[in-house]
A and B are shown apart, each in its own frame.
Chain A
Amino acid sequence: MFGLDKKDTTLLLVVAALTMLAPFLLNPFPTESGMAQFNAGYPDLMQKFVIFGIFAIGFNILFGLTGYLSFGHAAFLGVGSYAAVWIFKLFTYNVFPAILLSVIVAALFSLLIGFVSLRRSGIYFSILTLAFPQMSFALAYSVLSNPKFNLTNGETGLQVYADDPQRFHREGLPDLPHLFGLSMRSTHTMEIGAWSFDFNVGYYLCAIVMLVTFYLSVRIFRSPFGMMLRAVKSNQQRMNYTGLNTRPYTLAAFVISGMYAGLAGGLLAAMDPLAGAERMQWTASGEVVLMTILGGAGTLIGPILGAGFIKYFENIFSKINDNVLHQWFSFMPDGIEDFMVFIVHPFVGKGWHLTLGILFMLVVIFLPGGLVDGGQRIGRWLRSRGQKEDKTTGTTEPAE
C-alpha cells in the first residue's frame, strides 16, 4: 500500500493509530484520581510529542543514514519559527502560508550552512555545525534586533502585537493561528464516566503533518537515494571510486533534514505564535540528538519513540516532588522511607536533566541501537526461549 511493502505499511498504520488515538492512550487515569497528574493527554504536551517527532525524523535522515552528526539543527527550527511569526505579523494568522514559508526559509538557510560545513567531514563537520547555531543565536539575540533593523526582537522574542499590519486578517477569523478559520486552540472535550479526553485541532494538524513526514521518510529510507546515503556512511572512498559524488548526496540529506526542522519550527509557532532566540542554541540541537540516539538512530520508528519518550518523561519527572516520593515509599519503615526519598530526590523534579544525561550515557555505552535495538534484543531473547521450548517438545515428539 502507498508504494510500501507489507512490513512498512504495518509500521505506518501502527504509527497512524497511535497518533490518532493519542488523546485516549495518554489519558489512562480518571480525572479525579491521584494519578491524574501523570496523564499526558493535554493539547500542549501532545503537540510537543508530534512536533519534536517531526524534528527527530528529519534529523535521523541525516544522522541515521549518513552518520554526519550535526549540532546545528536547532538553528533551522529557529528560523522556521521566526518565518512563521513574520507571516502572522504581516499578513495573516492562517498557518498554511506560515508553515510553507518556514519550510522554504529553513531549506535556504540549511543549503547555505550545509554548503559550508559539508566541505569537511567527521568531527570537523560536527564542530562547524556547533559554531553555526551559536552564531545564529547571537545574531538573533542581539545583532538582528537593533532599532534600525529589528528582525528578531531579541530577548523578548518575536510575537504578534495589536498594531501589526496583518494585511489579510478579516473580521470573523479567530484572533489566533488558524487553518482557514479553524482555530488551533479549539478543543473538544469528551467526558466518559470519570475520564475526560481532549481533542485539539492543533494537535490533529501536527499529527497529520507528522504522519505525512513519517511516510516520506519511509520512502526515502527505501529509495535509491536512501541507499546512497547509507553507502556514504559505510565507505566514502568506495563511493568516490565508484563514480559517485558524495557532496550533493550529503547536502541533499542535510537540506531535507533542515526542512523537517523548519517545519517543526513553523508548527511550534503555529501552536503558540512566538519565536525566541533560545530555540537556536546548540543545547537545543543537543536535545534532538538525544531523542534520535535514545530511540534508535537509523531506524524508522526510533526517532518518534525517542521524542515521545523524552518529552513524556520530562513532563512526568518534573511533576514528581518530595511529597509524591513520600507517598510512593510510604509503605516502608520511616527511616528507610526518608532514605529512599533522599536517594531518588536528585533525579526527579528539577533533576530531570541529570536523569536524562545518565540515561543517554547508558544508551550510548550499552545500547548503541537505542530503544528500538533494546526492544529487538528482548524480542529475540523471548523468541529464542520459545524456540528452546519448541525444541524440547520436538525431541519428545518421536517418542509419542
Chain B
Amino acid sequence: MDSFLLQILNGLDKGSAYALIALGLTLIFGTLGVVNFAHGALFMIGAFCAVTLQRILSLSYTVEDPTQKDFLGNPLKVQTPYVESWFGPNVGGAIIDWAVPLAILLAIPVMVLLGLAMERGLIKHFYKRPHADQILVTFGLAIVLQEIIKYYFGANPIQTPAPDALSGVANLGAVIGMDLVYPIWRIVYFCFAALIIFGVFAFLQFTTFGMVVRAGMADRETVGLLGINIDRRFAIMFGVAAAVAGLAGVMYGPINPPNYHMGMDFLVLSFVVVVVGGMGSLPGAVLAGFILGILESFASTTWATTTIPGINQIIIYLVAIIVLLTRPRGLMGRKGVMED
C-alpha cells in the first residue's frame, strides 16, 4: 500500500510537466489551429530563465580579504555577489538561494513576450498554409532556439538547485500513520502545476476574455462574424500558452538539471499526451498527462522492469498506440478536430 501510493506520487511530478506542456499545446491547437513543434523549446527556455536569473544573482566582484591567506601566503581573494553586498549577507544569500522560485517573476514577462513575438512574427503567416508547413516551420524554429541556448549555455546540464528550505525530503505518511518519504520540491512542483492548471481553467471559465476564446475554439468563423477581434485574443492566448510551458520549465530545473535538448525530449511525449487526451480537449490533455506520468512511474518499479525489461521506456507509446487504435479521438476528444 505504501509503495503503491509512493508510485502514484512519483508519477505526479512528471505527470505535472506533461500536463502543463500538453495544456499549452492544446490551447494553441484549439485556438489557433496550429501544431506547434517549438512548444518543447518554450519549456526549455523557461528552464533557462531560471539558469539566467541564478547567474545574474550570483554575479560577483572580487575583494581581497587581508585577514585570510591562501596557500601561497597571498591575501585570499573572496568572491562576493553584488546582491549580498547590497542587501547584506543574510538577505542576499536568501535571494540567491531562492533563485528558482524568483525566476517565475522573470519568466512570465519573458515567455509572454516571446510567445507574442512568435505568433505575430511567424505563426500568423502560417494560418492559411497546410499543417505540414506549420509543423515544418515550428520544427525549424525549435532547432534554432535550442541551438541558440546551446551556444550561450553549452551542451552540458546546468545544476539549478531548489532553495535549501525546500530541497530535503518529508515524510508525508506521518499524518496517516504510513511511511512515505518524498522530496519536498516535487510536492511543490505538483502544487504549482495544479495552481497553474486551475488558473488557466478559471481564466477560460470565468472571464469574458476566456469565454470568447472558448467560443472561438468551438466555432471560429461565427465568432469572427460577430465582429469580435478573435485574432488578437488568440495571439494573447499564444502568449499565455508560452508562459504556461515556460513556468513548467522554470520549476522543473531542480528535478532535472536543464540542458538544451530537454525541450525536444519532452515535446514528443507531450504530443503523445495530447493525442491520448484527445486533440483539442483541455481537460483531456491534463488528465492524460497525469495518467501517463503515473503509468510511467509504475512501469519503472523493479517488479515491472524485471518482468519486461525496459517497459518504463516504452509504456507511454504502447498506451498511445492502443488508445488510438481503439478510441481514435482519444480519451476526451471532440469529433472533427483537425481530422482533415
Q: Are A119 and B317 in contact (CB under 8 A)?
A: no
A337 to B134, CA, bound (A): 39
Is B211 in contact with chain A by the CB < 8 A criterion? Answer: no
The minimal Cβ–Cβ distance linking B275 to chain A, given in whole angstroms, is: 5
| B263 CB, nearest partner CB in chain A, Å | 12
Contact A131 B272 (CB under 8 A): yes
A234 to chain B minimum Cβ distance, whole angstroms, is 12
Q: A357: CB under 8 A from chain B?
A: yes
Q: Which of B131, B148, B313 contacts A138 (CB 8 A)?
A: B313
Contact with B along A342-363 (1 / 0, CB 8 A): 0000100001011011101100
B contact residues around A289 at 8 Å (CB)? 136, 139
Asked whether B130 is an interface residue with its Cβ less than 8 Å from the other chain, the reply is yes
Q: Does A324 contact B (CB under 8 A)?
A: no
B125 — which chain A residues lie within 8 A by C-beta?
365
Contacts of A141 in B (CB 8 A): 313
Which residues of B128-155 are within 8 A (CB) of A?
A: 130-133, 135-137, 139-141, 143-144, 147-148, 151
Could you tell me the distance between the alpha carbons of A131 and B317 in the complex, rounded to whole angstroms? 6
Cβ contact within 8 Å between B328 and A143: no
Do residues B321 and A131 form an inter-chain contact, with CB atoms below 8 A? Answer: yes
Known contacts A67-B130, A116-B321, A356-B143; is A123 also within 8 Å of B35 by CB? yes
Most buried by B among A127, A236, A293: A127
Task: Tell me what chain A mostly uses at the interface: helix, strand, loop, or mixed.
Answer: helix
Using Cβ atoms and an 8 Å threshold, which residues of chain A touch B174? none
B314 at interface by CB-CB < 8 Å: yes
Report the nearest A residue to B147, measured CB to CB: A354
Question: Does A59 interact with chain B (Cβ within 8 Å)?
Answer: no
Measured between alpha carbons, how far is A364 from B340 in the docked complex, in Å?
21
* Residues A118-138 near B (CB distance < 8 A): 119-124, 126-128, 130-132, 134-135, 138
Please tell me if B164 contacts chain A, counting CB pairs below 8 Å. no
Is A69 interfacial (CB 8 A cutoff)? yes
Residue pair B140, A122 in contact (C-beta under 8 Å): no
Partner of A127, one of B271, B314, B325: B271
Task: List chain A residues, Cβ under 8 A from B310.
Answer: 138-139, 142-144, 146
A67 touches B132 (CB 8 A): yes
> Smallest CB–CB gap between A310 and chain B, Å?
13
Q: Do the beta carbons of B321 and A358 come within 8 Å of each other?
A: no
Residue with the highest number of chain B CB atoms closer than 10 Å, among A131, A351, A354 = A131
Which residues on the A side are within 8 Å of B321 (C-beta)?
A: 116, 128, 131
Q: How far is the CA of A4 from the CA of B31 in the complex (A)?
A: 48
- Please tell me the size bucket of the interface on B: 35 or more
Interface residues on A, range: 35 or more
Q: Is there an interface contact between A130 and B151, defined as CB atoms closer than 8 Å?
A: no
Q: Which residue of B lies closest to A354 (CB)?
A: B147
Q: Is the CB of A361 within 8 A of B271?
A: no
Residues of chain A within 8 A (CB-CB) of B70 are: none
Bound CA span A248–B340, Å: 18
Contact present for A143 and B132 (CB under 8 Å)? no
A residues 59-102 in Cβ contact with B at 8 Å: 63, 67, 69
- Give the docked Cα–Cα distance between A132 and B317 (Å): 7
Q: Residue B2 at the A interface, CB < 8 A?
A: no
> In A193-223, which residues have CB < 8 Å from any B CB?
none
Residue of chain B at shortest CB distance from A138:
B313
* A28 at the binding interface (Cβ < 8 Å): no
Cα distance A121–B139 when bound, in Å? 19
On whether the beta carbons of B135 and A134 are closer than 8 Å, the reply is no
Complex CA–CA separation, A116 to B317 (angstroms): 13
B110 at the interface (CB under 8 A from A): no
- Give the complex CA separation of A128 and B272 in angstroms: 8
Shortest distance between the CB of A108 and any CB in chain B (Å)? 18
Q: A116, A122, A354, A360: which contacts B325 (Cβ < 8 A)? A: A116
Interface residue? B268 (CB, 8 A):
yes
Report whether A351 and B133 are in contact in the complex, using a CB–CB cutoff of 8 Å.
no
Which of B136, B268, B279 is close to A282, meaning CB atoms less than 8 Å apart? B268
- Pairwise interchain contact A69-B140, C-beta atoms closer than 8 A: no
A-B CB contact pairs (8 Å), 15 listed: A116-B324, A119-B328, A122-B339, A127-B274, A128-B275, A128-B321, A131-B321, A138-B317, A142-B310, A142-B313, A143-B314, A146-B310, A354-B144, A354-B151, A361-B144
Which residues of A does B touch, CB under 8 Å?
63, 67, 69, 116, 119-124, 126-128, 130-132, 134-135, 138-139, 141-144, 146, 148, 236, 282-283, 286, 289, 293, 346, 351, 353-354, 356-358, 360-361, 364-365, 368
A122-B338, A130-B272, A134-B268 known; 9 new pairs, CB 8 Å cut-off, are: A120-B324, A126-B131, A128-B324, A143-B309, A143-B314, A144-B310, A286-B143, A289-B136, A358-B140
| Shortest Cβ-Cβ A-B pairs, 8 listed | A143-B310, A357-B143, A138-B313, A354-B147, A361-B140, A357-B144, A135-B317, A142-B310
